[in-house]
Amino acid sequence: MDQRDFGLSETQRDFRAMARDFTEREVVPHARDWDRAEAVDPAIPGRLGELGFLGLTLPEEYGGTPADMLSYTVVTEELGRGDSSVRGIVSVSLGLVAKTIAAHGTEEQQRQWLPRLAGGESLGCFGLTEPGTGSDAGSLRTRARRDGGDWILDGAKTFITNGTVADVALTFARTSEDGITAFLVPTEAPGFTATGIHGKLGLRGQATAELAYDGVRVPDSARLGGVGKGLGIALGALSRGRISVAAGSVGLAQGALDAAVRYATEREQFGRPVASFQLVQELLAESEVDIRAARLLTYQVARMADAGATPRQYATEASVAKYHASETAVKVSNNCLQTFGGYGFIDEYPAGKYLRDARVLTLYEGTSQVQKLIIGRALTGIDAMT
């Protein structure tokens, strides 16, 4: 048995095999071209929906795929191994948006959005980050004001994954000086615009956007959760989301290591394979150890969720996993490029893309520094973020 499958149930191994097959056939052969074009094939979300990957863990009555958190984790790991831009579609539309609707939405909201999101007919984006507020999400400036039975939203968001392709934007807006509220904003609403962000270092195939809300009117039925409860909803979603980012980081690191091992065993210098040199083996061995540790940390928090822990209860473990796995992805992809030497510096080979895609993993859904502060707060009881 592959050591990656040790401790997994038959169902979880089946999900991994399905995701691995899809990744090898429909993602890996195209990842370089999508990176160059700065766009993933628009048919991919539909394929993810057909396979049930966009409905993992969602209620079956709304089109969801029966699965536990660990199954979702191994799927996002495999997608991350193939292309982080594809993994991000699932992590955001399912992990941050659909799961949040399932957790906090009314029956009407769940009926309206979950079947479409689970089937890949629609995608969601998570409108939290703003031009002036990243890590300090509680200081966001987008505002929503009451107007009869409606709300009117004004403001801007940035670095929003799926922003130009989403049909619904889970948007967080200030409704009072000390209160933030969540809204499900249809992207076809008048006054809503999404502008693509191009020229990114990595995740080039991913649709990343700036969102503008210019007097966007939504009914009160679009409000997700209670008035003033939005920040708690956002933080809970991020705790769940960090599991998939950690899993995607593990997958990316595994892909980089696999590529480095193949290259090192095939490439010859001084009349023998590069892999026969001790310092090259050191790079590969260190990478393997770091990946195994990151995978175990990620699976541990997924199992906590499956055992009934709430996002608040596993928040620290999610930060531990996200921190270690994302830093591992950067380290391993850098080792991969070093193993490739000069060939790693051109995009004919995958090493450079792995490193470019890995770099953002330490930034979004909480920087490595924020993760350290969350872990430190859990250890000491002292909040160093304020």
**Active site residue ranges:** 365
- Beta strands 268-269 and 124-127 are unpaired
b/e burial code for range 46-65 (CB count within 10 A of at least 16 → b): ebbbebbbbbbbbeeebbbb
Measured CA distances, 77 to 87, 197, 233, 325 (Å): 8, 26, 25, 11
Alpha-carbon distance of 263 to 349, in angstroms, equals 10
Segment holding 18, helix H or strand E:
helix 10-26
The DSSP code sequence of 205-267 is: TS-EEEEEEEEEEEEGGGEESSTT-HHHHHHHHHHHHHHHHHHHHHHHHHHHHHHHHHHHHH-
Q: What is the three-class DSSP state of 2? A: coil
Question: In angstroms, how far is CA 251 from the centroid of its own chain?
Answer: 12
Beta-ladder partners of 179: 176
Residue 152 phi, psi dihedral angles, 5° rounding: -120, 125
Contact 357, 203 (CB under 8 A): yes
Q: Which residues, 6+ apart, have CB-to-CB distance to 19 below 8 Å?
A: 53, 74, 75, 77, 78, 79
Alpha-carbon distance of 280 to 207, in angstroms, equals 36
Amino acid present at 108: E
DSSP state, 152? E
